[in-house]
Chains A and B, each alone.
Chain A
Amino acid sequence: MKSVCLIDDDSIYVMLAKRLISLNNLSDTVTEYTDGREAFQALQQINAEGGALPDVIFLDVNMPIWDGWDFLDEFSKLNLAAYPEIYIVTSSSHSLDREKAATYPIVQRSLTKPLELDDLVAILKSGN
């Protein structure tokens, strides 16, 4: 079962996502961070201590302190041997965000809020 990391400042969204995952038994490990910097620092530390990084990250774009792009910029610089699957999750229907997301090699693809159960199942159940 894949471990999941949610990076979003919208607590309702985070709660809904966690409920969807747990109700459908899609993952047993869900960590959450409310801004990009907090997430980066935590993940960097885990990586430094040799800990296990999450398998999948759902990353919001609009966040205080560091937004999603800031996180991606710094996270890319870590040059990890294996990156988690990263999904950009945004409420914007702007194609700009999708286009920008595509420029990061470590990003799998972007999703639009609200998260659909089908998407979650496809992401978390694949490859296992």
Chain B
Amino acid sequence: MNIRWCTKTVPTAISASPDSVRFIYRQQPLRTKSLSGYVMIAASRDKLDRDVRKLNEPVYLVLSSVLLLSLFVFFAFARILSRPVSKLTHAANELRQGNFSVEIDHKSGAAELAELNDALEQLRDALLEARNRNEDFNRQLENEIKARTNDLELTRLRLLEAQEVAELGNYEIDLESGDWNASETIYAIFKISADYPLQDNSWKLLLNPANTMLVENLFRDSVKYGTAFQQDLRITPENNPLFERWISISGKAIRDESSNVHIIRGTIQDITKRKRIENEVRRLSLVAEKTSNCVIITDTNREIIWVNESTLSLTEYSRAEIIGQTPAMFQFEKTGDEKRAYIRERLNNLREVKTEVLNRSKSGKEYWLDLNIVPLFDDENAHIGFMAVEIDITERVKFEQELKESEENFRAILENSSEMIHTIDNDGKLIWANRSWKEKLGVANLEIDGLDLVQFLDGKTLEEFQRVIPSLMRGENVTDLNCVFLSTEGSALNLQGRAIPIYKDNVIIGSQAYLHDITSIRKAENDLRQLLELTQHQNERLRNFTHIVSHNLRSHSSNLSGLIQLMRLEFPEFKDNVYFSNFQTALSNLTDVIYNLSEVALIQTEDDKEMLQIEVNSVIENAIASVYGIAETAGVEIRFTKTNNFVVKGDRAYLDSIVLNLLTNAIKYKAEGRSAFVEISVSEADECVRIDVRDNGLGIDLERQGRKLFGMYKTFHKHPDARGVGLFLTKNQVEAMGGRIEVQSVVDEGSVFSVFLPSQTKTE
């Protein structure tokens, strides 16, 4: 007799239906340490029968041989041995009926019968033994099956528990009828009540349309190909859109007895929590992996177990080269022993590290890191390693160093500037001053940091500073700083310059002033001002003097004239006295001189004379008219051709006097022996009106006399009327009108006097 175990692993579900007619059949899910799945124990009833038959075959064969032999013996010795044969027949019948305990009589027959009896007896014993063995085996098998069944039951219960804990539930859907079934866990997952209808594919309402379609496709494929399926789904049921969950659905189409497939059976697990954690973890790992910061994770021995991409690109090592090493591999001699010791000490005490270090890459490139190392602990607060987050600050450090260098350069420039430069804080305390500042204020050998600026200021400057400080505090520049600083030796420095607010982190922390020493300039200015004041004062005195002199002289000369007039009236006999007539002439000359003097004084003192528009042509015509008489008498022709009506700005009386004077001179100093003429012409020249008075008279030796021509009391001809005042007066009058006078002359040929006066476009 032979029995075989038939075991078969079914991937996810029980797939065979029990056929209790053909098999002795047990199936149980099984989960052990090494394997999981379903155990099917099946014993085929046919096979079992066959095996039993096979076992019994030799017995029947022997038995039938014995029977044939017995029959033969019986028929051969029937007559002789009728009694023993009937006994044998009885024993054989007994044996045939399975009664192995039949008595076999050795003494009842002949010798052959006795042998036959022996053989029969052996056969009986052998049969007995075989039966007993069979019974034992069956008993063992039964026990074994019972034990396995208990195990399976236990496993099933555990599995149910596990399902509940894992939020895993079974379902079964009949695709034909639309009826379906599900375990309690599934009710819990979908939050459906116990009386939820389980017909008409109502399960579809638990999924949204897209998911329903997807699931139906899975079912269809499974039915078509007989394969199992598994799918994660995000479900938002139509009847409850706010209820969002992740589920994992698995299953397989099941074949029934008639090989029809319309049952889907499987499990659904709520994986919302897992999914959320997964998403979170995926995001975090993405961040860690892709961040531009370097992330390095080590175990407790500081051996690197994970690094991100940035670390690889910065250090230029491959992952294989880094994993298992300690981060000390990135350090080198310039990293600094102090820093290394500090990091070691902090890590030994499981304290956070925050520092900046200089490390070196595989190719020798040096880089600065802003390093932050935190010890890592698990849920039980056990130390499990370290995580370092590093930011590459090489550029920043480089920039800072460059900044520092350029700052030093600037400072050197400021330090050596000839300007005086100081920096004060908001309380007016000196922070810094350059060499020039210190030298000029006599504090070259002193520490000025913290000194009060006030001690260097005079009272007025203090007010000035109080004026400008609010502007500086508002962030405005002060460009018109004038101040007086007092040096320690007591000398005062006149300074001029500007001040600007200085910032730190966008907050005004003080101000810087750039001052240059204008003491010598100030002194020169003062000297000049004093000189000017002195000159003005003297001018004023001179003016008064001129005025008084001319006024008083006029009083006296007019009194003298009056007295002589009266004397002549009252004493007519004096008329013929030589002294009296000379006295009269002298007095007349004196009066003229005084008149001229006061005229000149008048021109020079009347600075603010009102300037009017004068028509040049009319002035000339008037002058010609007044000299007409003397010109006629002297036989001098006066030529004047009117052109444009030029207008100048000035004093009418002056211009009258100028033209008259020049005309009179030309007539007065005519040359004898040729027909004399005076020609007047007016033209425009360089925004000026030019009046030329040309004669063919005596002319002037300009080489000898030119310098003195317009001087006072200079006469150049022994003419009876020459008094030497005319040209001096003319020049003064021309200049008082803002013009100039020029002369060209050749002795014995004639002269041209040219007067240039500022033109004034006549307003029509």
Contact = CB atoms under 8 A, between A and B. Distances in A.
Interface of A: 10, 12-13, 16, 19-20, 23, 62, 91-95, 113-115
Contact of A16 (B550, B554, B563, B602): B563
B561 A114 contact: yes
Contacts of B569: 23
Interface string B547-589: 1001110110011011100100110000000000000000000
Nearest to B562: A16
A113 B563 CA distance: 13
A93 B598 contact: yes
B604 to A, nearest CB: 13
Contacts of B606: 95
Contacts of B129: none
Interface residues of B, number: 19
Contact of B554 (A23, A113, A115): A113
Given A91-B554, A94-B602, A113-B555, A12 B566 contact: no
B572 to A, nearest CB: 13
A20 B566 CA distance: 8
Contacts of B598: 92-93
B602 A12 contact: no
Given A10-B555, A10-B559, A114-B562, 15 more contacts: A12-B563, A13-B558, A13-B562, A16-B559, A16-B563, A20-B566, A23-B569, A91-B552, A92-B547, A92-B550, A92-B551, A92-B554, A93-B598, A113-B555, A114-B559
Nearest to A11: B559
B559 A93 contact: no
Q: Is the interface of B mostly helix, strand, loop or mixed?
A: helix
B200 interface: no
Contacts of B554: 91-93, 113
Contacts of A16: 559, 562-563, 566
Interface in B647-680: none
B599 interface: yes
A62 B556 CA distance: 13
Interface in B246-305: none
Given A91-B551, A92-B551, A113-B558, A19 B602 contact: no
A12 B559 contact: yes
A51 B384 CA distance: 135
A56 B602 CA distance: 30
A69 B550 CA distance: 20
B599 A91 contact: no
Nearest to A96: B606
A23 to B, nearest CB: 7
A105 to B, nearest CB: 24
A13 B551 contact: no
A91 B557 CA distance: 10
Contacts of A95: 606
Nearest to A62: B551
A25 B257 CA distance: 179
B558 A91 contact: yes
Nearest to B555: A91
The 3 closest A-B CB pairs, nearest first, are A114-B558, A16-B562, A91-B555
Nearest to A24: B569
B602 A93 contact: yes
12 contacts: A10-B555, A16-B559, A16-B563, A20-B566, A23-B569, A91-B551, A92-B551, A92-B554, A93-B554, A93-B598, A93-B602, A95-B606
A119 to B, nearest CB: 13
In this complex, the member of B558, B563, B598 whose beta carbon has the largest number of chain A beta carbons within 10 angstroms is: B558
A63 to B, nearest CB: 12
Contacts of B566: 16, 19-20, 23
A20 B563 CA distance: 10
Interface in B134-176: none
A23 B562 CA distance: 13
Interface string B594-632: 010011001000100000000000000000000000000
Contacts of A12: 559, 562-563
B227 to A, nearest CB: 131
Contacts of A114: 558-559, 561-562
Contacts of A62: 551
A94 B601 CA distance: 10
A114 B554 CA distance: 9
Contacts of B559: 10, 12-13, 16, 113-114
Contacts of A113: 554-555, 558-559
Contacts of B602: 93-94
A96 to B, nearest CB: 8
B652 to A, nearest CB: 13
B564 to A, nearest CB: 10
A75 to B, nearest CB: 23
B567 to A, nearest CB: 10
Nearest to B551: A92
Nearest to B554: A91
Given A13-B555, A23-B569, A113-B555, A94 B562 contact: no
A84 B278 CA distance: 126
Contacts of B570: 23
A5 to B, nearest CB: 19
Contacts of A92: 547, 550-551, 554, 598
A114 B561 CA distance: 8
Nearest to A90: B551
